[in-house]
Chain A
């Protein structure tokens, strides 16, 4: 190895160290923030007031309170439902179906649908939140176009079905990613394999289920890994649409963390929540990473 390096560079250790510096800083910065959250999860650090400067170590107290106080477990459950339905069922399955169906279709139709899917993704979260609030309000588009003409009284969607509405909004927002990824993955499946299956008498469903899906399995795992991580920690759309409410109906962990850290001002407790989120997401990632491995 050493022989391949530039002799001028290897003889100049100082410069070599200097070259390493950006990497060291980057890794240090990444570790610093995680370490910061981890360390302060054992303190009673506050955002403002005296405890923001004179904080104390409190041991495992914050972690105990995750389980003994109302909030964390409820939010965890809300988050699990939100991630499962909006990311795994919604974005991933819908994205795959769209990719599979549009593969064979005309290029103009495909382009039009693609642009429509992408629009949701490209809109800033706050704009999307306003759009969804307006659309689902009692005088909004859904009521005016569907509910009222069918003879039903208008429904106040955010009031009655807050979690389903933010879930659907997130599916709308995030499907583009899964679609693009699966589209590229399906393109990588060689035509010969699919045609061979066809010749062997496989039905279209069998061709997808038994041929294409196993081939793109690593892509599915990668997609799951990404969307699970970022949906688990997703904040802006829900916060802007409902702020976690009504009551706590849409208080996912990210919103709970925000409320505890910045409204209540308890950064120690907030850090404990973020550490717990880190552990949960870490465990989920391990599961997906195992899926990524080639079967022996």
Chain B
């Protein structure tokens, strides 16, 4: 009796266990919600062509970087993944990604990718992901609030002092968020790129990479420099000393939504962000008409600090990529999904409709692209751009920078913040890999 009961239990449990193991997957694909308009038609085309099903994992943009790193590290990531380009070399160095050179060699559209952008997504000479777009960064401003504050338009600030002046005028005119400068850890990479790096590049002369986080000659991280101190002081001015912006937008439950809401409510003055805002300030996947957008906002390049010898305007470019998990069951099928997404017709339509900066010559040289006034201006800005320090370790440094701005927001002095940043760099990379500029 007991024996039969026992065996029945064992059998039932095995059945349950078997049911809990998912059926052999198709192709799984993880991406962020804001890129749905590009990838979803691609997925549909892939499914129609191959008869396979795609298990699509669509996530909100916030916290996406942490999620993808954790999933790949834990071995639970999807077969195909969207990721920020700065993470590619780091993820590749840990062996989480599949090199694409061989897979891509048979694809006729691979030749059109800009070599410089493939370089960003490479590690030790191999390409690990294909870029979806690149970008430039600028200061967006709400025209009606500028009018209210009596600031002449088109606004063309020549130095940080001009930005702070404008922000002061906006504050005096009662604008709630006069200068929304990304800061803190919750903003993630936006703090580093849209805020700190854009200021840093114009904070000191470019010689010897004095205006960067990394000395690219020697591969040493810069733990203390006049540029870092000036940049941190800018944050101190904006958030603490002159109180030119409340900190809360940087910590909203959904930051993107909160910024869009602030714009819609007429509470935003200046926003430090990038070219994607031409669509995403309203809705990444479905922006309003050109006229509506132009009536509401304008943009201007980030000026340098105004210190002698610094750049007159600054810019840094990033972008996103799609790559294949090194543990994907069927890598050829996974790459096939990527080619469906990036198939010219689909890719071009999304690039144009969303005002993304093209990563392929067949799109960037097309008449529709070159005729677009916004893209033409943004491309001109890209003539003098730079990239992130996409060497392994960048993600950590970027997080430390974000943490430094958190401390600045709390009113910690610039001296103390620089000291803390320097010590943390030494903790992570060792004394020999950290330098100081006087």
Residues of A that sit less than 8 Å from B by CB:
6, 8-9, 15, 46-50, 52-53, 65, 69-71, 129-130, 133, 138-139, 156, 158-159, 162, 240-249, 251, 259, 262-266
Contact = CB atoms under 8 A, between A and B. Distances in A.
Interface in B235-264: 246-248, 250-254
Contacts of B188: 263
Given A245-B186, A259-B403, A47 B73 contact: yes
Contact of A48 (B6, B72, B251, B410): B72
Q: What are the nearest 4 A-B pairs in CB distance?
A: A243-B186, A247-B410, A246-B247, A245-B251
A242 B399 contact: no
Given A50-B392, A156-B248, A241-B253, A69 B420 contact: yes
Interface string B363-381: 0000000000000000000
Given A139-B265, A159-B248, A265 B399 contact: yes
A246 B184 contact: yes
B310 interface: no
B386 to A, nearest CB: 22
Choose among A46, A69, A263 the residue with the greatest number of B CB atoms under 10 Å from its CB.
A263
A263 B399 contact: yes
9 contacts: A9-B2, A48-B72, A159-B247, A242-B251, A245-B250, A245-B251, A247-B408, A247-B411, A263-B402
A50 B73 CA distance: 12
A265 B395 contact: yes
B186 A49 contact: no
Interface stretch (B85-93, B279-287, B341-349): B85-93
A48 B91 contact: yes
A166 B234 CA distance: 29
Given A249-B410, A259-B399, A244 B186 contact: yes
Contacts of B73: 47-48, 52
Interface of B: 2-3, 6, 65-66, 69-70, 72-73, 87, 90-91, 93-96, 176, 184-186, 188, 246-248, 250-254, 265, 392-393, 395-396, 399-400, 402-403, 406-411, 420, 423-424, 427-428
B238 to A, nearest CB: 13
Contacts of A9: 2
A48 B94 contact: yes
Contacts of A47: 69-70, 73
A8 B5 CA distance: 14
B406 A247 contact: yes
A130 B261 CA distance: 14
A246 B407 CA distance: 9
A46 B396 contact: yes
A246 B69 contact: no
A276 B38 CA distance: 45
Nearest to A259: B185
Contacts of A248: 406-407, 410
B400 to A, nearest CB: 7
Nearest to B10: A18
Report which residue of A49, A70, A139, A248 has the largest number of chain B beta carbons within 10 angstroms of its beta carbon: A49
A279 to B, nearest CB: 22
Contacts of B392: 49-50
Given A242-B186, A247-B409, 12 more contacts: A47-B69, A47-B73, A48-B87, A48-B395, A158-B252, A159-B247, A240-B253, A243-B186, A243-B251, A248-B406, A259-B403, A263-B185
A53 B2 contact: no
A8 B411 CA distance: 73
Given A69-B423, A264-B400, A243 B90 contact: no
B396 A264 contact: yes
A88 to B, nearest CB: 26
A158 B411 CA distance: 17
Interface centre among A139, A245, A251 (most CB of B within 10 A): A245
B185 to A, nearest CB: 5
B302 to A, nearest CB: 24
A243 B184 contact: yes
Nearest to A6: B2
A244 B402 CA distance: 12
Nearest to B62: A243
Contacts of A130: 253-254
A266 B399 CA distance: 10
Given A8-B2, A159-B247, A263-B66, A245 B406 contact: yes
A65 B93 CA distance: 27
A102 to B, nearest CB: 33
Contacts of A245: 184-186, 247, 250-251, 406, 409
